[in-house]
Amino acid sequence: MRTGIFLDYSGGFREAVEHIVAVEKAGVDIALVAEAYSYDAVSQLGYLAAKTSTIELGSGVFPIYTRTPSLLAMTAAGLDFVSDGRFRLGIGTSGPQVVEGFHGVPFDAPLGRTREVVDICRQVWRRERVQHQGRSYQIPLPADQGTGLGKPLQLINHPVRERIPITIAALGPKNVELTAEIAEGWQPVFFYPEKADDVWGDALRAGKAKRDSTLGDLDVMVGVSLAIGDDVEERLNWAKPHLALYIGGMGAKGQNFYHKLATRYGYGEVADHIQELFLSGRKAEAIAAVPDELVRNVNLIGPRGFVKERIAAFAESGVTTLLATPTTTDAGEYISWVEELQQLLP
């Protein structure tokens, strides 16, 4: 099992670099930078590449609707170049609230679009003349839709690698099946080890049955809030705003992927209550409504022995990379918990 760090997308670049340089020295394997509606992740990743030398860097994740597939591939190749082959492309659909509400792009055909994006990116990295005629993307654009002057082009530069690892953030069964088929990694959210097989097991097995062996094993990358100690009970509250925002506020009723996931975990009534509070503007009450039990089940917060047991549960359920977000503002405590997490890995 590997360890990683998940950076807050609303944090400062300089503060993030201080953390990443320190965790790199501690032997952490990977750092992911999220992208939502703050600064773009590319700027921070480039900055981190210049300040580090061994840690793998990744997007966690780029929404597929906000860049063309060719631009995603160009960006990934550029970040792989400036990091000397240390970049991992994380992509996902995000959701209608961000895609339509912030970018003004229709949230359509997420499953087919994801497959097309992966296919086109890999063409670009192999320096093939890009040709793709799909439902979401036509490259080059047919003459009856454009000027007729578009011709297939290939990337001018020679990428460091012709296959940059791709991780897909996926929740729905069909998207998880696709991820297990075509991607190097899978990044689920709010991962509950004991419930994971019930929720995703069939989809993962179906996807892996169609998987190209050259992709290797699927890297299951799971984000967790982290606090280790006998007096960290109150750190459960640090993780609640994130859960409340996603379960309650990321989408409308009936159109919230995270609410559906909490429901499948057995927290349907609680999820309904959180959503009702959040959507009515009662955010503090929504946060307070997140049960401690749910926070404990999907994170690593508690005494050392408890955290060790939970790590074993994550490993047993197939998790291969733990992406930690230490629930602290103290730099020394941050590093201490990351180092202790590494010591507890199986």
Same structural domain, 187 and 291? no
Q: Closest Cα partner for 319 from 214, 187, 225? A: 187
Whether residue 201 lies inside any domain: the answer is yes
The span from the CA of 111 to the CA of 145, in Å, is 24
Same structural domain, 211 and 270? no
Q: Closest Cα partner for 283 from 251, 325, 240, 253? A: 240
Same structural domain, 97 and 173? yes
Lowest mean pLDDT among 5-9, 18-22, 32-36, 216-220: 5-9
Same structural domain, 320 and 288? no
Task: Name the burial class of residue 329, with classes exposed (0-12), middle (13-18) and buried (19+) by CB atoms within 10 angstroms of its CB.
Answer: exposed
Confidence check: pLDDT of 273 > 80: yes
Q: Closest Cα partner for 92 from 36, 147, 24, 50? A: 36
Lowest mean pLDDT among 108-112, 142-146, 258-262: 142-146
Same structural domain, 239 and 105? no
Q: Which amino acid appears at position 267 of this protein?
A: Y
- 10 — pLDDT class (breaks 50, 70, 90): low
Same structural domain, 100 and 118? yes
Same structural domain, 128 and 271? no
Q: Which stretch of DSSP H or E encloses residue 14?
A: helix 13-25
Same structural domain, 170 and 263? no
Q: Any bridge partners for residue 222, and if so which?
A: 322
**94 close to 60: Cβ distance less than 8 angstroms:** no
What's the structural domain count of the chain?
A: 2
Whether residue 154 lies inside any domain: the answer is yes
Whether residue 333 lies inside any domain: the answer is yes
Same structural domain, 121 and 268? no
Q: Domain limits at 26?
A: 2-223+303-344
Whether residue 228 lies inside any domain: the answer is no
pLDDT of residue 230: 97
Confidence check: pLDDT of 9 > 80: no
Same structural domain, 158 and 249? no
Same structural domain, 258 and 289? yes
Pairing of strands 166-169, 62-63: unpaired
